[in-house]
Structure 1
Amino acid sequence: MTQLGDPPAPPDAPPLDGPRLAQSIRLLDHLVEHGPATRSELASATGLGRSAIAGITARLLDAGILAEETDASPDGRAMPLALAAGHHVLVTTEVGPDEVIATLAALDGTELARFVEPLDAGAAPAALLDLLAAVLQRAIAAADRRGAPVADLTVLVDGAVAGRPAVVVEGARLGDEPIDVLAELRARVSELAEVEAALPAPVQLLPSAIAAASSEAEALGVADLLYLEGDPALASAIIVDGRPLRGAHGLAASIAHLPIVPNGVRCDCGQVGCLVTVAGPAHVIERAGLADLEAMHGRRAAIDELIARIDAADDRARWSWLDAALWIGRTLQVVVPALDPTVIVIGGYWGGFIPDIDAAFRRNRPTIAGGAIGSIPRIVRASAGPEAALDGARRRARARLVAEPLRLIG
C-alpha cells in the first residue's frame, strides 16, 4: 500500500565502485554516443591508459556488456568493440499542453518513432490515462516490430512523485488526489507486464520539470539551478550538485503550492494563497479573458493568444500577467535565499517575459557586499527547447543504464 510519508525507494547499488565504476561509465558513455571503437580509439577518446582500457574491456566482455565485431578486422588487437545492448531502445511518454506523446529512441537519444494523441482541454484523468495507455501501447508494439528490447521506460508527469509504490501528487492534469499512474497503465496495457519483466531497471515515474531542468543544467554547464515554468502547468525543479533535489518524501521544489499570498483564495490542495492560484496558467488565461478560447482550441492556442495580447499592450492581458509576475517574483524572494542557486531558469511562456519577473524579484533584494548580491543569481530563459523534458528523460535513462553497466546485457 502506498504511504505518502515514505521516501522514494533508493536505487539498487551499482555493480562497480570507485575508480573502476567511473572509468567504465566513461568508456560506455563514449560507445553509446559514438558507436563501436577499438581499444586504441577508446584510450584516446577517454584519456584512460591502455592497461586500464584492457582491464575494463575484459571485464565488460566477460559480463556480456561488450561484444567484439569479429568480422570487422582480422587483427584482434584492432577489433572494434560495441555495446551488446546497442540495439535496445528507450521508451518515454509525456503529457503535453494539448497532446499525449510516446517516443521510441536509440540509446544515444536519437528519436526513432513518435506516437501522438490529441488531448482535449479539461480532459478527465481517466480519459488522459486512456490516451497515455494508447500511445504507450503503440510505442511498445513499434519496439517489438523492430526486434528491439526496451532498456528503459520513463513516464513523465506534472506534479510531484512520492511514496512506495510511487504515485503522482499535486498533478495539475491528473486531479488533486494521489494517483498510481503506473498501476493505471498496467491495467490498460496488457503488454506492459512483459516489458517490465525484461527491463534492466524499474519503470521510472518522473516529474517533467525534473527532466527539463536536467536538460537546462547540461545546456548551461551548471550543477545548481532553480527551474520554473508556467505551462502547461506551473511546475518547478531544483538541481543541486548535478542531481535533482527530491527531499525526504519526494516533495521538494513543490513551489506551485507554496502559500505565498496572505489571505488569498483557497487552493484545490486545501491551503490558502498558493502560488498556482495567482500565477498558474488557468488563472492567468481566465483573467485575460481567454478561458473560452482555451475550452475551444486548447491551452497552447490560449497561451499563444495571451502572448500576442501582452505584446500588443492589451490592458486585460497585460495586467493579468503583471499580477502573476509580481507573485512569481515574491516567491523567488522567499525561495532563492534558502537555495542560493547559480541560476534561475524560466521555461514556458514565462521565459518571454523575464524582465517583469526579474523586476519583481529585485524589488526586495538585500545589498550585501556593497550591492554585489543584487545581481545574484541571474535569471535566464530556458534554452533546451520544447523537447527539453523528453530529451532530459532520455539522458537520465542512458546515464542510469551506463552507471549500472552490468544491467546492460543484450
Structure 2
Amino acid sequence: MTNVGETSVPTTTGPLAAHREHSILVLEHLVTHGPATRSELATATGLGRGAIAGLTARLIDAGVLRPAEHDPSGDGRATPLSLSAADHVLVTTLLRPDEAVATVARLSGEELARFTVPLDDPVADDEAPPAASRALDALAVALDRALARAERSEHPIADVTVLVAGAVAGAPPVVITDPLLGAEPVDVLGELRVRTPGLAAIEARLLLPVTLEPAAAAAAAAERAELPGVHDLLYLDGDTGIGAAAISGGRPLVGAHGLAVTFAHLPVVQGGVRCECGQRGCLATVAAPEIVLERAGLDTFAAGNGHDAALEELVARVGASDDRARWSWLDAALWIGRALQLVVPAVDPAMVVVGGYWSQLLGDIDTAYRSNRPTIGGGALQPVPTITAGRLGPEAALVGARRQARERLIAEPLLLAG
C-alpha cells in the first residue's frame, strides 16, 4: 500500500535506468495518444531519431513496447509502436456526501465505466449501522462493481486508488478527521478487503500496490496540470468537509506524518467551540458545509434533496441576496480568509486554486483574505498570491488520481512490460 509521495514498486535497472527521463517522454506520448511510429515519437518528444531508435529498441527488448505486425516500410521505420500494457485499466474510487463512486478508465484517463452507490441514510433507530459503516459499505459495493467490470471486459487492472476526504497518515495508512468516516483513525483499505471479497486476489496481480489518498491532493495535482509553469500551488474546496492540499516545487507537500495543510483543523477562532478532533475553534466548526447549510436554514433541504443539491441552492440564494444564506456564507468566508492569512505565508504558493461550491463564491473569500495583508514595500504583497477558481469542477479528484497513477506507472517502465 502506498501513501502520497511514497512508492514500493520495483526500481527500473539496467540499460533503461540511464534513459529514464527519455523513456517517460516516450511512454507518456504513447499512453496519451496511442500507437506511434519512431518518426512520430521523435517529433513529439524532441529527441533525435538516433536516440529514439536506440531507446525504442531497448523498450521492445524489455517487453514494454510492441511493434505492429505489419511494417509498410520493410525496415521498421514506419512500424507503429504501442504499449504492451495498453489494455490495462485504472480503477479509482471516491467517497462523496451523497454517494460512493468507482470508475474504470484507460491508462490515458479515458473513462470506460462509472458506478455510483447512494449512501443510504435510514431512519435512525437502534438497529441502524453507524454512518461510517454505511459509507464504507457503499464504497465497497462501488469498488466491487468496478473490479468486476474490468474482469468481465478482460482488462487487466494496473492500479487501484481509493480517495477519501480526510487526512491519510501512518504506515500502513489510516484515514483520520474524515467528515464521512469520523475523526478517529479508520483502516479504510482493511475495511474494503473485508467487504470486497475479490479485492485481495486482484491485489496480488496489480502492477502497483493499492493507493489511499486524500481527494484534495489528487484534485490539486489535476488542477496544477491545467496551469503550465505553476509549480507551487495551494488547493482548497468545501464540498465534502473542508479539503486542502499543497504542491511545492512541483511535488505534493505531505509532511512528516501526512498531515501537512490540514486546513479544516486550523484553530482560527480563539475560544471557539470544541471540534470533533479535540481542538477548539477549528475552521471546520465555522465553515464546514453542514455548518453553513444549517445556519442558512438549508439542513432540512439537504436531508430531503441531498448534500450537493443543498449546496447548489445555497449558492443560488446567496446570489439572490437571501439574508440568511448570505449571512451564513459571509461568516464562513471571513474565517476561510483568516485561515488563508495563516497558511499562505507558510506555504508561499504562486496560486491558490479554489474548487467545489466555494469557487462560485470566490470573490468573498478573496475579499476576506486581502482584508489583512502586509503593507510593506508599498503594498507589494497585497495581490500575492493569485486566487482563482478550479477548472475541473467535481471531477478534479478523479482526474488527478488517474493522472498520478499513470505517472507512477511510466516512472518505472518495467511495470508496463508484457
Q: TM-score range by the shorter chain?
A: over 0.9
Matched, 1:30 2:58: no
Cα drift, residue 217 of structure 1:
0.7
Give runs of aligned pairs for residues 341-360 of structure 1, distance below 5 A: 341-360=349-368
CA deviations 1:72-121 (Å, max 9, x no partner) are 53614222111000000010011123111111101111100111112246
Cα drift, residue 12 of structure 1:
4.2
Cα drift, residue 161 of structure 1:
0.5
Q: Is the 8 A contact 1:31 1:82 kept in 2?
A: yes
Matched, 1:117 2:117: yes
Q: Residue 225 of structure 2 corresponds to which residue in structure 1? A: 218
Q: Residue 317 of structure 1 corresponds to which residue in structure 2? A: 325
CA deviations 1:21-75 (Å, max 9, x no partner) are 1000000011111111111211111111122212211221111111111135361
Q: Residue 15 of structure 1 corresponds to which residue in structure 2? A: 12
- Alpha-carbon spacing, 1:248–1:10, altered in 2? closer, same or farther (3 Å): farther
Give runs of aligned pairs for residues 147-166 of structure 1, distance below 5 A: 147-166=154-173
Q: Residue 100 of structure 1 corresponds to which residue in structure 2? A: 100
In 1, Cα distance between equivalents of 2:252 and 2:11 = 19
Q: Residue 79 of structure 1 corresponds to which residue in structure 2? A: 79
Q: Secondary structure at the match of 1:272?
A: coil
- Seq. identity, %: 57
Matched, 1:272 2:280: yes
In 2, Cα distance between equivalents of 1:345 and 1:357 = 12
Structure 2 gaps of 5+ residues are 123-129
Tell which deviates more after alignment, 114-123 or 174-183.
114-123
Among 102, 127, 151, the residue aligned to 1:144: 151
- Alpha-carbon spacing, 1:312–1:7, altered in 2? closer, same or farther (3 Å): closer
- Alpha-carbon spacing, 1:35–1:8, altered in 2? closer, same or farther (3 Å): closer
CA deviations 1:123-182 (Å, max 9, x no partner) are 711111111111111111111111110011111111111111111111111111100111
In 1, Cα distance between equivalents of 2:155 and 2:74 = 30
In 2, Cα distance between equivalents of 1:176 and 1:73 = 62
Task: Look up the equivalent residue of 2:341 and give its one-letter code.
Answer: Q
In 1, Cα distance between equivalents of 2:400 and 2:148 = 24
Q: Residue 42 of structure 2 corresponds to which residue in structure 1? A: 43
CA deviations 1:220-278 (Å, max 9, x no partner) are 22111111101122110001122211101101010100111100000000000000000
Q: Secondary structure at the match of 2:101?
A: strand
Q: Residue 197 of structure 1 corresponds to which residue in structure 2? A: 204
CA deviations 1:329-364 (Å, max 9, x no partner) are 111111111111001111111111111111111111
Cα drift, residue 18 of structure 1:
6.9
Q: Secondary structure at the match of 2:394?
A: coil
**Scaled by the length of structure 1, what TM-score is found?**
0.95
Give runs of aligned pairs for residues 169-248 of structure 1, distance below 5 A: 169-221=176-228, 222-248=230-256
Q: Secondary structure at the match of 1:161?
A: strand
Structure 1 gaps of 5+ residues are none
- What is the total number of aligned residue pairs between the two structures? 406
Task: Look up the equivalent residue of 2:12 and give its one-letter code.
Answer: P
**Scaled by the length of structure 2, what TM-score is found?**
0.93
In 1, Cα distance between equivalents of 2:5 and 2:336 = 29
In 1, Cα distance between equivalents of 2:398 and 2:57 = 34
Task: Look up the equivalent residue of 2:182 and give its one-letter code.
Answer: G
Q: Secondary structure at the match of 1:30?
A: helix
Q: Is the 8 A contact 2:267 2:279 kept in 1?
A: yes
